[in-house]
Structure 1
Amino acid sequence: MRVYVPELNYINALDFSKQLFELKVRDGVLLMDFNRMRNYDPFSMLVVSSALREFGKVNPKIKKRIDVNESNTNAQYAGHMGFFKSISNRVSVGKKPGEARGSSNYIPITPINLEGLREESVNENIYITQIIENKSKKLGQILAQGNKDLEYALTFIIREIMRNIEEHSEADTIWICAQHWPRYQLVEIGILDEGQGVMKSLKKNVHYRNLIKDDYTALELALKPGVSKAFRIYNMPDGIWDNSGFGLYMASNICTALQGSFLISSGNSCICNRYDRDINDIVCNRIDTRMNGTAIRMTISTEKIQEYEAIQKLFVKQGEELAKKMKKSIKQASKSSKGLIDYLD
């Protein structure tokens, strides 16, 4: 069976993941045809490669083959980013995930082993969230190209998503891929895990079980301030790295306030909030998909990046005010979610 992989924008990638999940093939060969593709965005490469890896796990008797013109410039870019080998290490096209050294404007598809982070935390006798902070800062520096405001923003949103995965996903690996296009004043970051998903994680907290009907309502709840699997009555964050449930709320609002977008997909649903220049407002869309774990796409326009610090403070204030009105939320953001960790540098 030949399957044509579509242009890899985020909508097509999510739709392809759903189609692949619903595909019924008992045996034989699945030929993945990439020759119609010209576009390989970071988030989309993560989603499609994850979907194809999962298809291989569910259908072990089916052999996967790829058809791609290696002389095509866009295919060479995807290969260099580790896309084809992230589908299977048996593929001969391009570099392995994490093999490319990266540059001043991109991070190739890179797997980050969570057990390795925990071992590093034990060996160095520091919190694992500090390890994640250090790695996030390095990634932010690569993409920021010397712009300190952009570096702070990217470090913050990458860290909040990575620590969320470590604390809640029960996954083995964090997958990340990113690109900065200075010409378009745009940064895109894709982060994915293949863990238990948002709904299953939040439902482990007895306070949320009756509020969650499906993946979509779980995502809606997760984007609110103070919502966390770690929530319990009367808890307050005391330490700098405490889980206060503000990470997704802060990251999503910072991205859209910086005229970008924030997308989160888990299970069979996806929420995408994006700034629309035509109406000068935020548009929220729901997309049906199907995937294991959780995938997040964040984009930032660098046009307003000098306003980052004020934007961050604004959403900390608004988030805490909103959380105080909610019965089942942590009322105060932790110091790390407020961004108050400069002294650790």
Structure 2
Amino acid sequence: MINVINMKYDKMMKMTKYLEEKSYFVNKGDNLKFHFSNLNFIEPAGAIIFLSTIDRLQEDEIPYELESIQDIERDAISYGETMGIFQKLGLSSARSFSEGTNYIAPTKVVISELFALLDEQDKSIETYYDEISTKIVRKVLRNLAFQADEAVKDLFEFVLREIVRNIFDHSQTSHFYYGSQTYSATNSVEVVIADLGLGLLNTVPFNVEETWFDNPSDEDAIRKAIIPGLSAFSNHAYAPEDYKNSGYGLALVKRIIEKTDGVFSIASGKKTITYNSLGEFVEDCDLIGTLIRMRINLNNLNLVNFDEVLEDARKEAVSKGYSDSPSSASQKLKSQNI
């Protein structure tokens, strides 16, 4: 039995680790049941981890049960219904809202359906990168009544565009989730984006010596993924030259968030690493694909000099023997379609 009390990032990561330790992800005979009677808190990051875990159980045909919420009177249950979380789990038919005063509810995007829609509308995937990043940024800034100048908006959109672009370039996922939460007290925003694809260990390149002698781990893959100039195995044949990746996307995103005194978490496979002003924190988990969580201090975003960040990344790439030429899309705050 899994008693879900706080549907938050750290708690849900620990839940995935527990499920792995108890062999729930492979054992089809055990009675796995999730209870919500003591649910106290929900945030989009935790909800997305939970939803993707249920997706995984369904895809692997692992039997499970979800406690009915019909007779549970708790604020967190009502909030979850408002966000459409329990509707996605098949536990509620109540009216839900994709956006609220302080959130964008966890949203599932099916890749095949997205490409069909883009084809119908005669739009490119690059246009979608722009549209989804602009949607999130405008929503967040409006919620916080934050008077950002154009450069700040562009920088925020760049961060999101690079994360979404990585999903299509590398993950080979069938679908992904995104959501956000704003915190007016600290003038900050948390955005989470997750796919159920190959995971970093299967897409980040390791050389022959590393593979032969070191037996690379998920933690190794995460650390490599944020090295500038290290291009992952990609699936971006669809993209124009502007978007051919050269391994700078995540590296630039991490640097930008750090300069805002924010939080950057990346989880893939059996590890999650969180970077913040206090250092880095490594925890165990068990995920299919890759999840990225960003908490950005908007008050500090206007202090970030993109050109300096780019130059620092170039220097690190050269020092480590990797490419010193980011893709042209990664060198632009604005994409080519704006």
Calculate the TM-score normalised by the size of structure 1.
0.84
- Unaligned segments of structure 2, at least 5 residues: none
Q: Within 5 Å, which residues of 2 pair with 1:1-345?
A: 2-23=1-22, 24=24, 26-27=28-29, 29-67=31-69, 70-86=72-88, 88=89, 90-92=90-92, 94=94, 100-103=97-100, 105-123=102-120, 127-145=124-142, 147-149=147-149, 150-203=152-205, 209=211, 213-230=216-233, 239-276=241-278, 283-308=279-304, 310=305, 312-327=306-321, 329-341=322-334, 344-345=337-338
**Aligned-pair RMSD on alpha carbons?**
2.8
| Paired-residue identity, % | 22
Q: How far apart are residue 238 of structure 1 and its match?
A: 9.1
Find the residue that maps to 2:286 and give its secondary structure.
strand
Alpha carbons of structure 1 residues 62 and 285: separation in structure 2 relative to 1, 3 Å = closer
Alpha carbons of structure 1 residues 251 and 74: separation in structure 2 relative to 1, 3 Å = same
Once the two structures are superposed, what CA deviation does each residue of 1:205-249 show, in whole Å capped at 9, x if it has no partner? 879755761111011100111122248xxxxx9932221211111
- Unaligned segments of structure 1, at least 5 residues: 232-236, 277-282
1:241–1:336 CA contact under 8 A, matched in 2:
yes
Alpha carbons of structure 1 residues 198 and 183: separation in structure 2 relative to 1, 3 Å = same
2:83–2:98 CA contact under 8 A, matched in 1:
no
1:193–1:294 CA contact under 8 A, matched in 2:
yes
Between 178-187 and 237-246, the greater mean CA deviation after superposition? 237-246
Alpha carbons of structure 1 residues 28 and 321: separation in structure 2 relative to 1, 3 Å = closer
In structure 1, how many angstroms separate the alpha carbons of the residues matched to 2:115 and 2:28?
A: 39
In structure 2, how many angstroms separate the alpha carbons of the residues matched to 1:117 and 1:52?
A: 22
Q: How many residues align?
A: 325
Calculate the TM-score normalised by the size of structure 2.
0.85
1:28–1:63 CA contact under 8 A, matched in 2:
no
Partner of 1:234: none
Alpha carbons of structure 1 residues 181 and 288: separation in structure 2 relative to 1, 3 Å = same
Q: How far apart are residue 83 of structure 1 and its match?
A: 2.0
Post-superposition, which runs of at least 4 consecutive aligned residues in structure 1 deviate over 6 A?
204-208
1:191–1:295 CA contact under 8 A, matched in 2:
yes
Find the residue that maps to 1:299 and give its secondary structure.
strand
Find the residue that maps to 2:41 and give its secondary structure.
coil
Once the two structures are superposed, what CA deviation does each residue of 1:118-144 show, in whole Å capped at 9, x if it has no partner? 335545555422321222112211112
